Amino acid sequence: SPRTKTKDRKLRPAQYAEAGIACFWRVENEDDAMVVYTFELLPEGGAYAPTGVHRHRVVVDKPFPIDVELPPVTW
Say yes or no to pLDDT of 75 above 70.
no
What size, in residues, is the chain?
75
**Mean pLDDT computed over 19-28:** 95
The whole-model pTM stands at 0.88
The DSSP letter of residue 68 is: E
Question: From the centroid of its chain, how far is CA 24?
Answer: 5
Confidence of residue 66 (pLDDT cuts 50, 70, 90): very high
List beta partners, residue 16: none
Q: Cα separations (Å) of 65 from 60, 61, 62?
A: 6, 4, 6
Is residue 70 over pLDDT 90? Answer: yes
Residue 47 pLDDT class (50, 70, 90 cuts):
very high
Percent of the chain whose pLDDT exceeds 90: 79
